[in-house]
């Protein structure tokens, strides 16, 4: 964690400690007031109302600490002071309140019990080294031992043995309290450090898991120096077979060639010392089209046209350099909001990308079906070697169909059944399945993309983009329309996001820069990456 992140965490935890102690103090104050009202006496020593009122001062002090740490930025030095005060202020009051109590109640043990609980609570909540916790504990309990000695000298006989006995007993139990809280702080602080290191990948700190697929796991991350939100895709060691590694490396190498604003940009790549491959890419704060339709229902034709135009333009750039996506589907198309455009599309996940030119071998087994059954073109089922740019257009037509109708082109009980439907069944026009009108020209274009034969589809992504633009029977989807949609859907999307929050399991991700430099040299020389051992 960077220094600012550590400072922010400390401020949050000091605030939490103050809040817990304040709640405990308020509960005690309520008990005191209730006992005084019910029995006509106060649990405070000597029944002093002035003592009870001084407790209110303690509560007010804790309240000020909480307010200060919740509002504005506190420096590390200020937080260190507030951390100590949150412990010392309540304990100082305890020493004052218990001084008049008779020896029969053993006030030193009451004080010891409260101090031990507070110090242990601090060790659990506040990020602190064992050394700092020990220092705070030694000061607190050192004062307690001195307080005990002078307290019992007031009540003891001329024989000093009882004073020594009480002092030694208090010191022994105080020592145990310091030891336990120090060990707790040391262990928890050490675990925090291990989690922090495990969640760091070079300059990237992993924050939360945001997706997972066959080619890896994606996390939201933050760059330590640029403070930029980033998405980091990992290929865990347990999935790092020879072919998977080669495919993962090819994905980042080929995707990094693309610069279209509708395609997620790649920033960095590398491999950790324990065999976890990763690459860092642009973070898109949006929602994939599959999740969006599931939450909000089918889309109007104007919006579908607007989305398909952006997707076709992005795919046109990929196809222009010989890259075929092969897994175009709603889940790989993210919709987000930008300052001057509320429906901005991003194409993601080139994990199954195929290079259509010489120099790149297809790393997939020719007998293996590659893609998602619901959006897989017929040629991918018959002969994967025939897959080309028009195969992406078939999948994009299936995406448009899904957006218009809220359901897939073909649905079946199994993947095999879906494959058969793609091969042999005619497509039901979306206007017959949608609850809304679908303009005829636009519907014909969608159906042409879903033609069984490649030659009957648009010849290229550029041709498809031109055809979509020429669909004059579809009204324009304006930025005002998009903004209104996002505003009306915001509560539902926020609720769904909070309900589907994902955690992540930390791993050690220290970057192997030697391997990375070697890979870069190989790439620069035009040679294929060396085969790596499966880890």
Phi, psi of 201 (to 5 degrees): -130, 90
pLDDT at 384: 79
411 and 358 inside one domain: yes
222 and 299 inside one domain: no
298 and 278 inside one domain: no
DSSP string covering 170-187: HHHHHHHHHHHHHHHHHH
84 and 9 inside one domain: yes
Give, in order, the Cα–Cα distances in Å from 95 to each of 30, 181, 501: 20, 20, 46
Task: Give the count of domains, the chain.
Answer: 3
**And the tokens for 385?**
């070697």
97 is in which domain, residue-wise?
Answer: 3-171
Q: CB-based burial of residue 278 (10 Å sphere; 0-12 exposed, 13-18 middle, 19+ buried)? A: buried
Q: Which is nearest to 250 in space by CA: 363, 81, 82?
A: 363
Report yes or no on 180 lying in a domain.
no
Query: Position of tokens 């999307």?
Result: 493
Kindly name the residue from 268, 288, 327, 392 that is annotated as catalytic: 327
pTM here is 0.58
CATH code of the domain in which 219 resides: 3.30.200.20
Three-state DSSP class for residue 266: strand
CB 349 within 8 A of CB 321: no
324 and 415 inside one domain: yes
Which residue among 116, 151, 171 closes a domain?
171
240 and 344 inside one domain: no
Report yes or no on 179 lying in a domain.
no
Report yes or no on 195 lying in a domain.
no
Report yes or no on 192 lying in a domain.
no
301 and 247 inside one domain: no
216 and 299 inside one domain: no
Cβ-Cβ contacts under 8 Å for 296 (sequence gap 6 or more): 485, 489, 492, 493
276 and 318 inside one domain: no
256 and 297 inside one domain: no
Report yes or no on 409 lying in a domain.
yes
267 and 292 inside one domain: no
The one-digit pLDDT tens for each residue of the chain (535 residues) are: 445 667 788 888 899 988 998 898 888 878 877 776 777 655 544 445 656 667 788 888 888 989 988 888 888 888 889 888 888 888 887 777 777 777 766 778 888 888 888 888 888 888 888 888 888 888 888 888 888 888 777 765 554 457 777 788 888 888 888 888 888 888 877 666 555 555 555 667 777 787 776 567 888 887 767 667 888 887 766 665 666 677 667 767 777 777 888 888 888 777 766 667 787 888 888 888 998 999 889 999 999 999 999 999 999 988 888 888 888 999 889 998 877 778 899 988 764 545 444 344 444 444 444 557 888 899 888 887 888 889 999 999 999 999 999 999 998 888 888 888 999 889 999 999 988 889 999 999 999 999 999 999 999 999 999 999 999 889 999 888 988 888 888 888 777 765 554 333 333 233 333 443 444 443 444 443 333 333 3
**Whole-number Å distance between alpha carbons of 7 and 489:** 36
CB 346 within 8 A of CB 258: no
**Whole-number Å distance between alpha carbons of 328 and 318:** 12
Cβ-Cβ contacts under 8 Å for 294 (sequence gap 6 or more): none
333 and 268 inside one domain: no
Report yes or no on 196 lying in a domain.
no
Report yes or no on 245 lying in a domain.
yes
CB 137 within 8 A of CB 182: yes
Report yes or no on 230 lying in a domain.
yes
Asked if 473 is an active-site residue, the reply is no
Q: Which is nearest to 311 in space by CA: 415, 211, 402?
A: 402
């Amino acid at each position: 964690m960077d220094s600012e992140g550590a400072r922010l965490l400390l401020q949050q935890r000091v605030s939490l400690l103050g809040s817990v102690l304040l709640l405990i103090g308020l509960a005690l104050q309520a008990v005191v007031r209730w006992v005084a009202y019910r029995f006509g006496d106060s649990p405070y020593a000597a029944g002093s109302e002035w003592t009870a009122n001084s407790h209110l001062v303690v509560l007010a002090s804790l309240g000020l600490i909480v307010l200060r740490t919740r509002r504005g930025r506190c420096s590390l030095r200020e937080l260190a002071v507030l951390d100590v005060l949150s412990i010392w202020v309540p304990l100082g009051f305890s020493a004052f309140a218990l001084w008049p109590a008779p020896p029969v109640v053993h006030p030193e043990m009451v004080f010891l019990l409260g101090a031990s609980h507070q110090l242990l609570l601090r060790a659990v909540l506040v990020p602190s080294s064992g050394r700092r916790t020990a220092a705070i504990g030694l000061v607190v309990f050192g004062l307690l031992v001195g307080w005990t000695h002078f307290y019992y000298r007031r009540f003891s006989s001329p024989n000093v043995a009882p004073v020594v006995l009480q002092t030694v007993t208090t010191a022994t139990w105080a020592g145990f309290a310091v030891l336990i809280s120090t060990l707790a702080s040391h262990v928890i602080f050490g675990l925090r450090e291990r989690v922090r290191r495990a969640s760091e990948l070079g300059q990237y700190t992993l924050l939360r898991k945001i997706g997972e697929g066959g080619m890896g796991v994606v996390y939201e991350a933050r760059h330590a120096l640029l403070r930029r939100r980033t998405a980091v895709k990992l290929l865990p060691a347990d999935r790092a077979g020879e072919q998977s590694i080669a495919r993962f490396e090819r994905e980042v190498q080929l995707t990094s060639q693309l610069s279209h604003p509708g395609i997620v940009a790649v920033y960095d790549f590398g491999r950790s010392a324990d065999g976890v491959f990763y690459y860092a890419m642009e973070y898109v704060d949006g929602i994939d089209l599959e999740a969006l339709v599931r939450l909000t229902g089918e889309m109007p034709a104007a919006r579908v046209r607007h989305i398909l135009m952006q997707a076709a333009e992005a795919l046109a750039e990929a196809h222009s350099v010989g890259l075929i996506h092969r897994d175009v589907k709603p889940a790989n198309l993210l919709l987000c909001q930008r300052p001057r455009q509320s429906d901005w599309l991003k194409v993601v996940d080139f994990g199954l990308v195929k290079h259509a030119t010489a120099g790149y071998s297809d790393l997939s087994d020719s007998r293996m079906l590659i893609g998602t059954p619901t959006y897989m073109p017929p040629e991918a089922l018959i002969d994967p070697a025939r897959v080309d740019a028009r195969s992406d257009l078939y999948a994009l037509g299936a995406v448009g169909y899904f957006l218009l109708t809220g359901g897939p082109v073909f649905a079946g009980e199994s993947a095999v059944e879906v494959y058969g439907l793609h091969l042999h069944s005619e497509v039901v026009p979306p206007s017959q399945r949608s609850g809304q009108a679908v303009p005829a020209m636009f519907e014909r274009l969608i159906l042409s993309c879903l033609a069984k034969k490649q030659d009957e589809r648009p010849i290229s992504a550029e041709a498809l983009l031109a055809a979509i633009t020429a669909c004059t029977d579809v009204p324009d989807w304006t930025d005002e329309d998009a903004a209104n949609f996002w505003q009306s859907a915001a509560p539902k999307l926020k609720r769904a996001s909070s309900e589907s929050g994902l955690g992540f399991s930390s791993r050690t991700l220290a970057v192997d820069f030697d391997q990375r430099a070697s890979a870069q040299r190989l790439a620069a020389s035009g040679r294929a990456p060396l085969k790596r051992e499966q880890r």
